Amino acid sequence: MSEVSPIGAGAPAIDWARADAEVVEIAATLIGIDTTNPGDGTGPGERAAAEYVVSLLAEVGVAADIVGPTPDRTSVLARIHGHDRHRPGLAVHGHLDVVPAHAPDWQVPPFSGAVVDGILWGRGAVDMKGQVAMILAVIRAHIRAGITCPRDLVLAFFADEEAGMVHGSRWVTEHHPEHFAGVTEAIGEVGGFSHSLSGGQRLYLIATAEKGISWLRLIAQGRAGHGAMLNDENAVLRLAAAVDRVGRAEFPIRVHPSVMSLLSAVAEVSGTDFDPADLGPTVALLGSLAPMVGASLRNTAQPTGLTAGYKVNVVPGQAYAEVDGRYLPGERTEFLARIDELLGEHVRREFICDDIAVESPVAAGIVTSMVEAIGAVDPQARVVPYLLSGGTDNKALSRLGIHGYGFLPLRLPAELDFLRMFHAVDERVPVASLQFGMRALERFLRIA
């Protein structure tokens, strides 16, 4: 087994020129494989992307398994043994599916994977084929250079992250938990990216917690009848009133420890006062991240859909709405009780998706390794924890007792609004951001 190069003693024998070219080629090829996941079962599936990933691993001698509930909803799993048998395994994961793209809205064809002026364009460039390519390019470079990491690495590339994870990480962890034997921690998407404050200070945000998901269908019950008659049990009106109550409800502020450390760090690097009793001014300093961080201070319930009626002169017997509910770690029961109160007696709810919140230790060796890895590549970095207001495959892994973190590093230009690139028209990422990310990830895997 080859020796691990000590940190700070110069880069190990990695062919960075080759890795820099590969990360772009792999990302562009993955973007070119349409893995649109509309969530209604009509997409092309992830099979072609999974087979491509398997071929990339096979080229460097890593055997990988393709698993999934059906031949086209496939995830890829592989294990690379570490050299320290006393250390627990580490899962490194991404997802292969993407949300739909409406091509006429785009400046470039969304599945082209075009590189223009150093920017990689296409659906999945940031969410998250670019980072899947980073993982693969780093692993290939490690193996070619004869570098072995201390921990067993379990690589997982999941299907179906964008539509509730049912055919991806949830299925895999339920049917093939053996792949994660001995794994205690995981890294995945939506963390490790940089965010520049207006004064130029560069934060790197690591997701150490995730809100839980309560996607709800509301069903209002009423009395069907002729639209020309009096009707005091109108389902449309009952639904509209309930949606209004839910959408306008103010949920109390609860500052999770990860959010507290994020905001106190933001105040500190900005040189402003930090008042835990009045967080608004500190949240505002985060600029484009403020809507996400604001949402991490409380439970939220956003009405997102309405369906009712089939003819203008008919009062329907039922009316439906959809609500995207997100609750803080530990607050599921309280959140749903409040929603029920707001719905009132004629409106009931069903789950479209019911998934757990995630909370991983901030004071952990793995976080120290993240700070060190990013700091080595960007000495101006200030690494901070945060609470992701969305959800990732870390939820499914946490059911196996694995502590998940959002950490796939990207150094981004100050003007790039990273979170707005998710699911966006003209989704794109600078090639240099991926190349930075590879260097931070490469170092992290050697020291984690």
Q: What residues make contact with Zn ion under the rule CB under 5 A?
A: 127-128, 189
Distance in Å, CB of 111 to Zn ion, minimum? 17
Distance in Å, CB of 211 to Zn ion, minimum? 15
Distance in Å, CB of 127 to Zn ion, minimum? 4
Q: Rounded to 5 degrees, what are φ and ψ at 194?
A: -90, 150
Closer Cβ to Zn ion, 46 or 189, answer by number: 189
What type of residue is 375? G
428-430 sheet: strands from edge to edge: 115-116, 119-121, 428-430
Sign, CA torsion 413/416/420/424: negative
Closer Cβ to Zn ion, 127 or 378, answer by number: 127
Closer Cβ to Zn ion, 142 or 167, answer by number: 167
CA distance 267 to 433: 26
Closer Cβ to Zn ion, 20 or 127, answer by number: 127
Angle (CA) 196 199 204, round 5°: 25
The residue whose two tokens read 């009509």 is 42
Distance in Å, CB of 190 to Zn ion, minimum? 7
Closer Cβ to Zn ion, 19 or 99, answer by number: 99
> DSSP characters for 55-119?
HHHHHTT--EEEEEEETTEEEEEEEE--S-TTSPEEEEEEE--B----GGG-SS-TTS--EETTE
CA distance 95 to 127: 8
Closer Cβ to Zn ion, 127 or 185, answer by number: 127
Distance in Å, CB of 94 to Zn ion, minimum? 8
Angle subtended by helix axes 16-32 and 431-447, to nearest 10 = 110
412 neighbors 418 (Cβ within 8 angstroms): yes
Query: Two tokens at 442?
Result: 């490469």
CA distance 299 to 247: 12
Closer Cβ to Zn ion, 378 or 427, answer by number: 427
- Residue nearest to Zn ion according to CB distances in the complex: 127
Closer Cβ to Zn ion, 93 or 202, answer by number: 93
Three-state SS at 259: helix
279 neighbors 297 (Cβ within 8 angstroms): yes
CA distance 41 to 73: 10
Closer Cβ to Zn ion, 152 or 210, answer by number: 210
